[in-house]
A = this chain, B = another copy of it.
Amino acid sequence: MDEIMINLDTLLEIIENKEVTKLRKLFDTHEIIDIAEICDEIEDISKLLFIFKTVKSEFTAELFTYLNEEQQAKLINSFTDKQLKELIDNSYTDDIVDFLEDMPANLVTRVLKASPKEERNDINKLLNYKEDTAGSIMTTEYVEISVDLTVKEALEQIKKIGQNAETISSTFVIDKKRNLVGVLYLEQLVLSNEDTPIKNIMNEEFLTANVHDDQEVVADIFKRYDRTVLPVLNNEKRLIGIITIDDVIDVMEKETSEDIAIQAGMQPLEDEYLKTGVFTLAKKRILWLLILMISATFTSMIISKFEGALSSATILSAFIPMFMDTGGNSGGQTTSLITRGLATKEVTTKDYGKVIWKEFRVALITGLVVATFNFLWIFLELSIGLVTNSGTIANWQVAGLVALTLFCTIIIAKCLGASLPMFAQKIGLDPALMSGPIVTTLVDATSLLIYFLLCTKIFQLV
C-alpha cells in the first residue's frame, strides 16, 4: 500500500531538500501515527516546524496528537499564535485536553489564550474532571438534533454542523428543555424514508454514563453492550459530552497494564515504561518488596523454632525451596485466574461457593499428581546421590515427608489463592492487590509449618 517507504533518514532528506510535494504526498499515502513515530526522533525542532508549515493542518493536527510530550512541548513553544490557533481549530477537544494534562502550566496558558472563547471554556471544564473519570475521556464535539425534525431535516443539520464533530455515527436527540430523549444512528437515518419524523426511528432506550463515573465502568459498558459511542450526562441528567470507542480501547489497555503491575507487587506507572525515569521505577517497586520481605519474617521464625530438628538432620533443609516454590506457583496460578476472571466479569463474588469447590477439587487432582511425581523424583535424587542424605532419616521417609507437605500445601495454596482476590473484591479493594507474591508469602509460612509439624510431631522422625 505504501508507495514511499519512510524512515528517519528519508524524512530528514525530504525536509532538508524542501521537497514540498513529496512531503505532502507522504501524508496522503501513510498512516499519520506511523509518520509521528518517526517525527518523535527528529531533534531539530525547526525541521519539525517545516512539516507543520507545509502540510495541511488537518493532517498536522492529527500528527501532533501522536507525538510524544517532549516534541509537543517544544512545538507549542515554537508555534506562532496563528499556528497555535490553527492546531486547536483542527483538533478535537478531548485530544487537546489529553496533551494539556501533561504540559507545564505556562504552555497550558498559551494554548488556552489562543483558543476561541467557547472552546476555552470546554477545555477548562474537561481539564477539571478528575483523572480516570468519564469526564476526563469524553469530548464535547457531538451533534445534537432537535426531536421534532424529519430524517431529511436531520441529515441536513448533520451536514451543516457535523464537520466539526468527532463522530456523526451517533447523533443525540434533545427535547425543548434540552433533555436527551433519544439516540440516532447515522445508519438508521440513511436507511429510513426522508419524511419520517426522527421521533419514530430514534432509540428511546439508550445507555448513558455519568460524567463522574470511573472510566473502567464506562469501558465495561462498551464491552458488554458492544457500543462505539456513549453519551455522558451530568448530575442534572443533561447531555454534556460523548465518549468514543477509540478512547475506551486505550482505557482498557491501561487498566489491564495497571492490574498486571499491581499483581506483580508494584504500584502502576503513570506513563509508558521507556518514558519513566529510573527513580520513579524504583519507587514504584520498593514499597511492596519491603512489605513482602518483612512478611517473610514468619518463615525465619518458623525455621528458627525448629532449629533442633534441622541441626540433627540437615537433609530436611534441602527441599524447603522446592516445596515452597511449588506451593507459591500453584497458589499463583489460581490467584491470576480468579483475579482476571473478576476483571473481565466472568466471575463475580456471588460465585464464591462454586469457585472454592472447583478449586478444591482441582487442588486434589493437581496435588495428587504433583506429590506422586515429587515423591518419586526426590527418592531418585537421593538414591543416585544428586542430593546427599547423610542423616538417619531413610530416603523414602524424606521423600514421603516432602511429598505429603507438598500435597497439603497445594490444597491450601489453591484455596487461599481463590479466596483472597474474591475477599478483596467483596470488601471493596482491588482484587489485583491480593497478588501472587502475597499468596506466596502466606503459603511459604504455612507449608514450612506443615513440614516441621509432620516431621517432628506427627511422624517423629527427629
Q: From A414, which residue of chain B is reached at the shortest CB distance?
A: B285
Q: Point out the residues of chain B lying under 8 angstroms from A322, CB to CB.
A: 293, 296-297, 299-300
Interface assignment of A304: CB less than 8 Å from any CB of chain B: yes
Q: Which of A374-391 contact B (CB under 8 A)?
A: 374, 377, 381, 386-388, 390
Interface string of A257-270 (1 = CB under 8 A from B): 10011011110010
Interface assignment of A223: CB less than 8 Å from any CB of chain B: yes
- Of A46-54, A358-366, A423-431, the one contacting chain B is A358-366
Q: How far is the CB of A202 from chain B (nearest CB, A)?
A: 13
Cross-chain contact B168 with A190 (CB below 8 angstroms): yes
Q: How large is the interface on A (under 10, 10 to 19, 20 to 34, 35 or more residues)?
A: 35 or more
**Distance between Cα atoms of A321 and B317 in the complex (Å):** 11
Cross-chain contact B320 with A321 (CB below 8 angstroms): yes
Out of B187, B226, B318, which one reaches A168, CB within 8 Å? B187
Cross-chain contact A289 with B169 (CB below 8 angstroms): no
Out of B300, B303, B347, B440, which one reaches A273, CB within 8 Å? B347
- Of A70-78, A128-136, A159-167, the one contacting chain B is A159-167
Q: Point out the residues of chain B lying under 8 angstroms from A318, CB to CB.
A: 300, 303-304, 307
Instruction: Say how many copies of this protein the assembly contains.
Output: 2
Q: Which of A264-301 contact B (CB under 8 A)?
A: 264-266, 269, 272-274, 278-279, 281-282, 285-286, 288-290, 292-294, 296-297, 299-301
Cross-chain contact A285 with B362 (CB below 8 angstroms): yes
Cross-chain contact A326 with B369 (CB below 8 angstroms): no
Interface string of A233-271 (1 = CB under 8 A from B): 000000000000110010011001100110111100100
Cross-chain contact A33 with B365 (CB below 8 angstroms): no
Out of B191, B293, B347, which one reaches A374, CB within 8 Å? B293
Could you write out 13 A-B pairs with CB less than 8 Å apart?
A31-B224, A167-B187, A261-B337, A265-B333, A274-B358, A286-B366, A290-B373, A303-B317, A307-B390, A310-B314, A321-B321, A321-B448, A325-B440
* Apart from A249-B249, A289-B326, A325-B444: 7 A-B pairs, beta carbons within 8 A: A159-B190, A168-B191, A273-B337, A293-B370, A311-B314, A325-B437, A332-B437
Q: Nearest 10 pairs between A and B by C-beta?
A: A264-B336, A299-B321, A282-B365, A296-B322, A226-B246, A304-B387, A303-B318, A278-B361, A300-B318, A281-B362
